[in-house]
A = this chain, B = another copy of it.
């Protein structure tokens, strides 16, 4: 380690763990996007908010860019460090630091893995209800930075709804202690909500206080086979009207194919084009009768062709695996991903247009769809054809994304529902946000991060 800047950081924070080995730079310099070649200056693993503040002040003095880093499960390149940045990994700051039974809050460090938050809440007889497939790897700090959504948004909303307090170090090195667990607080601008979803471009979370919910009711899971995309919205409406939905997810036959290849168990003997996994409150005769009524209604209407309902937690987990295993089953193919949203009411028109667009744009290509109908959120994964070079493949996909982004603009949608903008979606931001909005974002960044050291080049160019 001969870099003079790092020597000065060592003197300022003598206890700080700093990594500069090539393997560490590669490991910490990339996220799940795998598109950029990692090239950070070094990796810092602070153990305290004080160390984080020292690092950020040093970065301002030395004009070194800082990339805040959690579980690096991001899919938009938000945690990529490819330009001599200092990676600020929060993985050592991963403890539960407090629980309050009256406030029903859990206070945690940012590097704690989402699943550990779930477990800590459960130990206290409560629940942290934001959940998604990367729960075993992603960190709460990253969840906050992207306002993570997931599979239970239809019932519990996004991460934003569960943040009672945030301690952050801003780009200028100030420590802010925002909202402090208050239910009602009308005392000026809510900087907490500005930080949530800002993808590390304004500051870095050093502690979060999370509201907890009542434990979920007993639930059952239904897997449904559908004849068409058009049936999806109608099945959703029928189920929403009759059941207390905890989740309502869909996927296609191509998604099922990959999950089965990856080891999941085949649910139906017949082939069908579309599937839904619905989870709903159960545990009473009335609820069970309502579930049966919803199912029978949809079958009678020809909206559902087959179905199975879980009779045990193990069977529920098996059905969920068909949906939750999709991302992992695709990972080895390095698919090109889009994660888009429109208003729920705009879904039918948008889906029809998108389906046509994909058939034109990706003729003969393996396109895997899944998503969250109740949130208006669609995930499109394009599997590269055998033997195609990645840069050629990405360039082709980006042409389709141009058209998709224009369609989103027409339908009032967003180029990123829950993955964030990062690097991957930056070229399309202006189809979702106006010039005036992006200009305001730039101005706000200059207020919190005057030297532009926090995750520069992510979301927008300064």
Contact = CB atoms under 8 A, between A and B. Distances in A.
B186 A197 contact: yes
B412 A185 contact: no
Copies per complex of this chain: 2
Interface in A420-453: 420-421, 425, 429, 432-434, 436-438, 440-441, 443-444, 446-448
Contact of A196 (B105, B146, B190, B415): B190
Interface stretch (A176-184, A304-312, A395-403): A176-184
Interface residues of A, number: 75
A343 B170 CA distance: 25
Contacts of A421: 186-188
A167 to B, nearest CB: 12
A40 interface: no
B188 A441 contact: yes
Given A176-B437, A447-B443, A190 B197 contact: yes
A444 B441 contact: no
A237 interface: yes
A161 interface: yes
A129 to B, nearest CB: 14
Contact of A433 (B188, B342, B412, B440): B188
Interface string A320-346: 000000000000000000000111110
A460 interface: yes
Contacts of A175: 436
Nearest to A178: B437
Nearest to A431: B187
A417 interface: yes
A21 interface: no
Interface string A167-209: 0001000111110111111111111011011100010000000
Given A161-B161, A447-B443, A375 B183 contact: yes
B185 A417 contact: yes
A416 B161 CA distance: 21
Contacts of A233: 102
B182 A413 contact: yes
A103 B345 contact: yes
Contacts of A149: 184, 186
Contacts of A341: 182-185
Contacts of A460: 188
18 contacts: A102-B237, A102-B345, A147-B190, A174-B436, A182-B417, A183-B344, A184-B372, A184-B375, A184-B376, A184-B417, A185-B414, A186-B417, A187-B429, A187-B432, A188-B197, A188-B437, A190-B197, A443-B448
Given A175-B436, A183-B377, 7 more contacts: A102-B345, A153-B183, A183-B375, A188-B429, A188-B459, A193-B194, A446-B447
